[in-house]
Structure 1
Amino acid sequence: MARTLTVLKSPTPSSTAKSMIRLIQSLTLVSFLGPGNSVSEASSTPPVVNGVLRESVTLPSNFPVKENISSITWLHKGNSVIFIWPKEAKIQVTDPTRKDRLNIIESYSLQLNNLTMADAGHYRAQITTSTSFLYTDYNLQIFRRLSNLQVAYHTKLSENSTCEIQLTCSVENPNDNVSFRWEVAGNTFHSEANLSVAWNPKSLSEETYTCIAENPVSNLSSSVSDKSVCKGVINGKNEYLDIRWIIIVVVLTCIFFIALILIFVQRKKVAGFFQFSTQQTQCPGELPDSVPSH
């Protein structure tokens, strides 16, 4: 039957003194280990555990269950944070600043809740038995979850009528060990936050670029297409061309009508001239008939 561990969070002075005596006795047991006893070796590179700010993380104890355990202590940066007496089913939180955020769960693993940046660092689980002194090490890192991924772009029309695109990817917490990469069709295209590409308006193709931001505890992504971001600059060019053609058409139309008016006026003048000339040629022949006879 499983035994219930009692957590002692607010000990009396006398019980605190007893606890410290037991702690000292347990820690000094290693000095009295005789022949045949063993001490575990620390790993030169402790495994890294990633925690999320304001969330929880568990550090496994990795101790053999069948061992006759006298005491267990968890240390952070060399200082004891919690002490356990399995036989007495008691737990003493030795770091009062974290008394409400530390729990011992299955197999004496340490659970830290509501993580802060101060919780990062080296942790050691240390166990004392009648025949051995064992420990397990971890390096805890704390990260924020990434948020507010944004993709900004700047476009311009080059001399050869292609749309040049400058893409920039950013997050709200850029210092949380963030890496960026750009993917096209699921394949990594570029491994930086900034990306420069071009799109030809004459081409019928359209490419989608996906920015992925990630750190050890989270990732975000956002996509844009070259055709969509170039729409404004291409439409601006077309509007300029439309206005230019409208002006050309209006000017040509005005010239055409002015030419028609000039032709019409010129024809009127020619017609008037010929009519006047006809009248002049008829007048000398009519004069003798108009003179009275004597």
Structure 2
Amino acid sequence: MDSESYQSQRLSSHAVTRTPHETAALGRTPRSVLRAGATHQTESVDGAIGKAPAEPSLFSGVTPESPWHPDLRLVLQPARMAGAPRSFLLFLLLLSQPRDTSPGMSFCSPKWVNGILGESVVLPLDSEAMFKRITWYAPSPHQDAASGRRVPLAIVTMGGAGALPRLAVEAKRYRGRVRLHSRTYSLEISNLTMADEGKYKVEKNLIAHDQYGCDYPLSIYKRLSEPEIRVHPVMAGNGTCYVTFTCSAGERAWHLTYTWTRPAGGAVLSTEESLLVQHRLGDEDSPVTCTATNPVSNSSASASPKAACEGLAPPQTPALSYCRAKGILVLGVLGTLLAGILTVHVLAAREQTRP
């Protein structure tokens, strides 16, 4: 077999079937053929064939004839025939992927809010972005019997050109107690009751078809009045008294804290509900102060160990002072002298009256 026929057989064994359009596009210019699991065949202008080591391809197993992607078949044919780099082919592949146009939903971290019984609370919302609708939900919203949907607390919708947003309160229990802040569209609830406690929710539909959601766990507490201090003194003898003070603010104990201090300041004596104090009779008074605190308020009251202890002490006979003893002694001497003088006069008068 001569050299020309041998080369013709090798060329025909590695030939790839091409369409007329593909053959015309190739002409006599160098071209590359990507084949799955094969070597990289290069055909030069004069028909000589050389072999290069096979390299992995990003599109191994994908041919223009495969039904992998209808658009990709049109893209890959001219691109591979022109010897396009892998990065360009990957870029075309990414462009051919379908895009996700569904609306996105973002959530914030829960915003814990504390309210005072009988007063107002604000559920903060920063709504600088343009929106279509803002929906507020109260804790445990009931469902509408006809439609089966959750009945929201309130709905805020954009007004017309130059008009303010509209607020529609749908929950009957909140009507007359809800107000909308004009700039941020935060929701204010007044005349709070313990039934208003729970987790509120907001859902905001933006102009760009995105949604925003946030939770507002609301806790309600009473504003504390002056706490009551109960006193329990015990006399231990030798003029020593022990007093137990117990502070009570009349609220749920799990969210209350107590602090005992001296009115003049200084270190904290205790953070318990009760405090034990020692007092000696006759010492100066040293009052103590109890401060009760809850998440929305605090209040204080003071008590006196001296007043508690000396009210139990038995009455003591006052000691005789030096001046008083001297006065009593002088009076005794004068009384004795007066008695002696009277005795002498009486005896002299009797002697004169005798015959």
**Which TM-score applies when normalising by structure 1?**
0.63
CA contact (8 A) 2:226 2:301 kept: no
* Correspondence for 1:160: 238
Task: Map Cα deviations across residues 44-98 of structure 1 (whole Å, 9 max, x no partner).
Answer: xx221110111101111123x1x22110111123631000112343221110121
Indicate which of 102, 107, 113 corresponds to 2:178.
102
Query: Which residues of 2 match residues 96-175 of structure 1 at below 5 A?
Result: 96-106=172-182, 107-131=184-208, 132-175=210-253
Query: Which residues of 2 match residues 35-54 of structure 1 at below 5 A?
Result: 35=101, 37-43=103-109, 46-54=110-118
* Correspondence for 1:221: 300
Task: Map Cα deviations across residues 182-220 of structure 1 (whole Å, 9 max, x no partner).
Answer: 1132432111121111112354x5422110111111111
Secondary structure in 1 matching 2:156: strand
Choose between structure 1 and 2: higher helix proportion: 1
Q: CA deviation at 1:179?
A: 2.1
Q: In structure 1, what residue type is equivalent to 2:155?
A: F
1:49 to 1:158, Cα distance in 2 relative to 1, 3 A: same
Q: In structure 1, what residue type is equivalent to 2:281?
A: P
Q: Distance in 2 between matches of 1:58 and 1:34?
A: 37
CA contact (8 A) 2:281 2:310 kept: no
Structure 2: gaps (5+ residues): 1-98, 142-151, 321-355
Of 180-189 and 79-88, the range deviating more from structure 2: 180-189
Query: Which of the two has higher C-alpha Rg?
Result: 2
Secondary structure in 2 matching 1:188: coil
Secondary structure in 2 matching 1:242: coil
Q: CA deviation at 1:34?
A: 5.1
* Correspondence for 2:136: 74
* Correspondence for 1:87: 159
CA contact (8 A) 1:55 1:114 kept: yes
Task: List structure 1 segments (4+ residues) > 6 angstroms apart after TM superposition.
Answer: none
Q: Distance in 1 between matches of 2:221 and 2:239?
A: 45
Q: Distance in 1 between matches of 2:310 and 2:238?
A: 17
CA contact (8 A) 1:85 1:91 kept: yes
Q: CA deviation at 1:146?
A: 1.6
Q: Distance in 2 between matches of 1:223 and 1:148?
A: 10
Q: In structure 1, what residue type is equivalent to 2:157?
A: W
CA contact (8 A) 1:40 1:135 kept: yes
CA contact (8 A) 1:176 1:215 kept: no
Q: Distance in 2 between matches of 1:166 and 1:52?
A: 32
Q: In structure 2, what residue type is equivalent to 1:129?
A: L
Secondary structure in 2 matching 1:128: strand
Secondary structure in 1 matching 2:173: helix
1:112 to 1:186, Cα distance in 2 relative to 1, 3 A: farther
Q: In structure 2, what residue type is equivalent to 1:196?
A: L
Q: Which has the higher contact order (CA 8 A, sep 6+)?
A: 1
Task: Map Cα deviations across residues 134-171 of structure 1 (whole Å, 9 max, x no partner).
Answer: 12221110111122421121222203321111111112
Q: In structure 1, what residue type is equivalent to 2:227?
A: L
* Correspondence for 1:242: 317
1:34 to 1:76, Cα distance in 2 relative to 1, 3 A: farther
CA contact (8 A) 2:136 2:201 kept: yes
* Correspondence for 1:59: 123
Q: In structure 2, what residue type is equivalent to 1:227?
A: K
Query: Which residues of 2 match residues 5-24 of structure 1 at below 5 A?
Result: none
Q: Distance in 2 between matches of 1:103 and 1:151?
A: 41
Q: Distance in 1 between matches of 2:311 and 2:287?
A: 17
Secondary structure in 1 matching 2:237: coil
CA contact (8 A) 2:117 2:220 kept: yes
Secondary structure in 1 matching 2:153: strand
Q: Distance in 2 between matches of 1:72 and 1:78?
A: 18
Q: Distance in 1 between matches of 2:247 and 2:104?
A: 54
1:230 equivalent in alignment to 2:309: yes
Q: Distance in 2 between matches of 1:243 and 1:70?
A: 88
Choose between structure 1 and 2: higher strand proportion: 1
CA contact (8 A) 1:74 1:82 kept: yes
Q: Distance in 2 between matches of 1:220 and 1:148?
A: 5
Q: CA deviation at 1:176?
A: 7.4
* Correspondence for 2:30: none
1:225 to 1:195, Cα distance in 2 relative to 1, 3 A: same
Secondary structure in 2 matching 1:228: helix
